[in-house]
Amino acid sequence: MKNRELELGQVVISKKGKDKGQYYIVTGFDENTGRLRISNGCKYGFGNPKMKNRFHLQSVNCILPEIRSDVGKSRDQQTRQLDFLISRLLENLSTTRR
């Protein structure tokens, strides 16, 4: 699949780096650097996302609308809920795609 423009809630796979092959979800954009904020719900949670160059990510034909709608809400409880949701969805996705 071509690396098209990525959206909030888009599931992506890392193509470069130590995390090559890992699934993440796009949780934000940094307009200044052109990098994406990506989360996996565990080490890189919603409140502490990993920054990654968009060219080092491959999109998966899956978008989670829950992420897009929850991005602007309160941080504390919402962050824990989103981290749990992200980790479960990515875990299920990675086991079904292997």
CA–chain centroid gap for 69, Å, is 14
Give the mean pLDDT of 68-89.
72
Give the mean pLDDT of 8-12.
91
| Residue 45 dihedral angles phi and psi, to the nearest 5° | -80, 180
The tens digit of pLDDT for each residue in 30-55 reads 889 989 999 998 899 888 899 999 99
Domains and CATH numbers, the chain: 10-96 (2.30.30)
Residue scoring higher pLDDT (2 or 68): 68
Q: Structure pTM?
A: 0.77
Helix (H) or strand (E) holding 13: strand 10-14
pLDDT of residue 89: 84
| Closest alpha carbon to 85 in 73, 97, 93 | 93
Write the CA distances from 18 to 4, 14, 31, 54, integer angstroms.
23, 9, 24, 16
